[in-house]
Each structure stands twice: as C-alpha cells, then as structure tokens.
Amino acid sequence: MNKPEIPTLDDVAKEARVSTATVSRCLNSPDQVSTKTRDKVLKVVKDLGYTPNFGAQALAAKRTNTFGAIVPTMNNAIFAAGLQAFQEELGHNGATLLLASSSYNSQAEEEQIRSLVSRGADGLLLIGTQRSDQIYSFLDDRQIPFVIAWSYEENKRRSCVGFDNLKASYELTLRAISLGHKKFAIISAPTHSNDRAKNRVMGIHKALKDNGINFQNVQSIECEYSIGNGFESFKTLMQVADRPTIVMCGNDVLAAGAVKMAHEMGLKIPDDISITGFDDIELASVIEPALTTVHVRHKKMGMLAAQVLLKQVDDKSYRENIKLDTWIVEGKSLAKPRSFL
C-alpha cells in the first residue's frame, strides 16, 4: 500500500519504449508521428492514466490554457449568463476559466488582474472600459490578450464585445417621452467608475435634451445594484412635492426593488408611476408587472468574447470590436402617465 505515484511523461516513454519527445509529440502534434507508434503511445497513456503536469507544461510551453475573468459581482444574475457562455466556449476549446470578482472596486480589480496574470492566465475578460492607464499599460507591456465586454468602443488598440449602452438607454427614454412622460427620475449605479452606468445615464440626459426637456433638475440617485438599494432609492425619489411620473433604473435589479417599494407605497404601476429596467435578466419577467427593459444578448456576448480572446492568443496583434444589438422588451411597467390621460 505505497502511496499512489502520478505517472509522468518519462513513465509513459519507458513503458512505450520511445523517447519522451515522441510521447510529447503524440499528445501535442499527433500528425508528426507515425500512426503505429502513436497508437502504441496513446494506449500506454490511457493505461497509465497519464495527465500532463500543469506546472511543467506551463513552464515549458509558456501557456496555460486558462483564461481569467474579473466580474464586478456574482451576487446577482447580471453577469451570470454571459459568464456561463464564456466559460462554455472556452471549454469547447480545451481552456478553463479563472474567476474573480471585484465587488465594483477598481482597486480590487487591478490587484486581481495582476494576480490572474501572475497565475499564468493566457488572456483576460474584463467588464467595461474604465480603469487606470497604469493597468492598461501593464497589460500591454506584458502582451496579455484581453477583451472588454459589456461596453462597446471604437478602438483599434483593444478588442471589445459589447453594446451601445448610451444608445439603448437613449431609445428607451425616447419611448417614455413619446408616451408623454416629462418628469423623470433616475436610479443608477455609481457612474464615476462604471462606464456602462455612466453611458446609460447620459443616454437618458441626451434624449431629454434632444426633446427640450430640462434634464438638469432630474432627480438621480446612485447606488450599487441590489434590490434593497432600488427599494430605498425609490422611496427617497418619491418623497418630493413634485413627483416624477417615471423612474428609470440602471438595471433590472434596481428596478425590481423600486417595484417592490411602489407596491408598499400603494402606487399602481404603471398608472401612478412608470418604472423601467435594463438588462432583461430573468427577474424582469417574473415581477409584477413585468418590466419594460432593454434586452442584452448576454449569451452571445460571452461566447463571442471567448472567441475573440482565443484568436488574440494565436495572433497577438489581432483586434476586433463587436457591437451587439439591443432592443426594448415591452413589459407592463411603462405606459402613459396618468396626467396625460
């Protein structure tokens, strides 16, 4: 009962009576080996249950086949579907995912980027564009391939797979305006370090401006995405003399909280107040009334991000900017304001 030894390339080589080089080739570039020896070697590999040692492989080949992703949060479902698709696409290509979450803290994100890189990540998935020049040049210096998701930017130097947050938000706002809304309020994620949130707010402002509605005195609350925060923020926004007729939320989670508070306050949605979301996560369809929100193609985004990233590993100079379309999902939470009836 001696402790189980994990077989190495050497063991396989000896057993198969070939050199380690041949075994290595059988595994990594099978066509350079004669069918006969290959079959022989692969049988031994199987018999011994050989699996390559990761560290040694990484050291010698200078690649790990692992990719890092840093998401702002795993606490709600915003990134879940995209991440799952990303992971699956990596899996199809024999790669695995290293995951970290930054809790929307850019300091933490930087540390995690460095950590994942030093852990040998072949490439990274990052959310949004907003981070220090320092960390971008760290990545550039080390030639670490990375893809930015959830945001879109025209940028020859970086790859991104995302969508136009500003435009999507602009269009949703236009819809509200066309229904007769004039008094807006906003619940958003903190905009200073979150370009998606910033663009979503800017989209609203732009639409208002373009339609001659003063956006300077639109009440706006910034808070992290959580149902509880949406809940509280909505209450605050309603405690004013001249109530808004619509509260636009930076994402569905906030909107869900807002809806809940509206119920508690006895406000009818959408008669007394309209509420909109963003992201179209499953949550949006279950709450009552279903949210009018913006559909984002999360799965497609995750899958494409993985594909772009894999291409960049093969060709370090490869860059691609992909803009996915979004569309408004009609729920029951947005309608004409009562004053307009």
φ, ψ of residue 190 in degrees (nearest 5): -55, 125
Q: Quick one: 205 exposed, middle or buried, by C-beta within 10 A (0-12, 13-18, 19+)?
A: buried
35, amino acid identity: T
Per-residue string for binding with a copy of itself, 137-156, x by CB under 8 A?
----xxx-------------
Select from a copy of itself, DNA, none the partner in contact with residue 205, using the beta carbon and a kind-dependent cut-off of 5 to 8 Å: none
At its nearest, how many Å lie between a copy of itself and the CB of residue 214? 33
Total binding residues for DNA by CB under 7 A?
30
Among 263, 271, 332, 340, indicate the residue that binds a copy of itself (CB under 8 A): 263
Among 178, 286, 330, 340, indicate the residue that binds a copy of itself (CB under 8 A): 286
Per-residue string for binding with a copy of itself, 240-259, x by CB under 8 A?
-------------x--xx-x
Within positions 1 to 60, which residues make up the interface with a copy of itself, using CB under 8 A? 3-4, 6, 51-60
User: 165-178 and 195-210 are packed helices; what angle lies between their axes, rounded to 10 degrees?
Assistant: 40
Residue 87 touches a copy of itself, criterion: CB under 8 A = yes
Within positions 289 to 328, which residues make up the interface with DNA, using CB under 7 A? none
Cα torsion 252, 253, 255, 260 to 10°: value is: 140
Instruction: Yes or no: say if 137 and 158 are a contact pair by the CB < 8 Å rule.
Output: no
If you search the block for the tokens 């923020």, which residue do you land on?
Answer: 233
Say how far apart CA 25 and CA 38 lie, in whole Å.
9
φ, ψ of residue 217 in degrees (nearest 5): -100, 25
Would you state the structure tokens that stand for residue 10, as one six-digit string? 């050497």
Select from DNA, a copy of itself, none the partner in contact with residue 22, using the beta carbon and a kind-dependent cut-off of 5 to 8 Å: DNA
Say how far apart CA 203 and CA 294 lie, in whole Å.
13
Select from a copy of itself, DNA, none the partner in contact with residue 75, using the beta carbon and a kind-dependent cut-off of 5 to 8 Å: a copy of itself
Per-residue string for binding with DNA, 57-86, x by CB under 7 A?
x-xxx-------------------------
Per-residue string for binding with DNA, 27-56, x by CB under 7 A?
xx---xxx-xxx-----------xxxx-xx
Within positions 209 to 238, which residues make up the interface with a copy of itself, using CB under 8 A? 226-227
Instruction: Yes or no: say if 177 and 212 are a contact pair by the CB < 8 Å rule.
Output: no
At its nearest, how many Å lie between DNA and the CB of residue 134? 21
Select from DNA, a copy of itself, none the partner in contact with residue 92, using the beta carbon and a kind-dependent cut-off of 5 to 8 Å: none
Say how far apart CA 127 and CA 134 lie, in whole Å.
17
Would you state the structure tokens that stand for residue 78, as one six-digit string? 């915003």
At its nearest, how many Å lie between DNA and the CB of residue 23? 7
Which helix (H) or strand (E) segment holds residue 276: the answer is strand 274-276
Say how far apart CA 32 and CA 29 lie, in whole Å.
6
Interacting residues toward a copy of itself by CB under 8 A: 3-4, 6, 51-60, 62, 64-66, 73-77, 80-81, 83-84, 87-88, 91, 96-101, 114-120, 141-143, 226-227, 253, 256-257, 259-260, 263, 282-283, 285-288
